[in-house]
């Protein structure tokens, strides 16, 4: 179980890094991180900061699992990190 969990978390981190690299080349300089109810851009941030959120959460999940054996909680955090990376790309590619 331990080795498979390590592989899942490491794979998640690699996927987040790949998404961040793609985002660096494909996304505009300012990213929309929140959309208001009217559909307008709410919260924006610089591209570099925005694309590093996902790998940071994934790395946190991996280190948390290694240190405290976070178990399923670490996998959930890692899955959310991948989702954040995908949504960041999806919301900002067409802008």
pLDDT tens digits along 36-48: 888 787 889 999 9
Predicted local distance difference test score (pLDDT) of residue 40: 82
| pTM (predicted TM-score) | 0.86
Tens of pLDDT, residue by residue over 35-86, are 888 878 788 999 999 999 999 999 999 888 888 776 788 889 999 999 999 9
Residue-level pLDDT at 3 = 76
Q: Is the pLDDT of residue 95 over 70?
A: no
CA separation for the pair 54, 92 (Å, rounded): 15
Beta-carbon contacts of residue 42 (< 8 Å; ≥ 6 apart)? 32, 33, 34, 35, 36
Host H or E run for residue 44: strand 44-46
Q: Residue 62 is encoded by which pair of tokens?
A: 């991996």
């Amino acid at each position: 179980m331990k080795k498979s969990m390590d592989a899942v978390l490491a794979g998640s981190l690699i996927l987040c890094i790949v998404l961040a690299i793609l985002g660096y080349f494909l996304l505009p300089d300012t990213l929309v991180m929140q959309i208001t109810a009217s559909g307008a851009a709410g919260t924006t941030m610089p591209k570099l900061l925005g694309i590093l959120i996902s790998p940071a959460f994934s790395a946190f999940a991996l280190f948390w699992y290694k240190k405290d054996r976070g178990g399923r909680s670490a996998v959930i955090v890692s899955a959310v990190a991948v989702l954040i990376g995908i949504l960041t790309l999806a919301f900002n590619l067409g802008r």
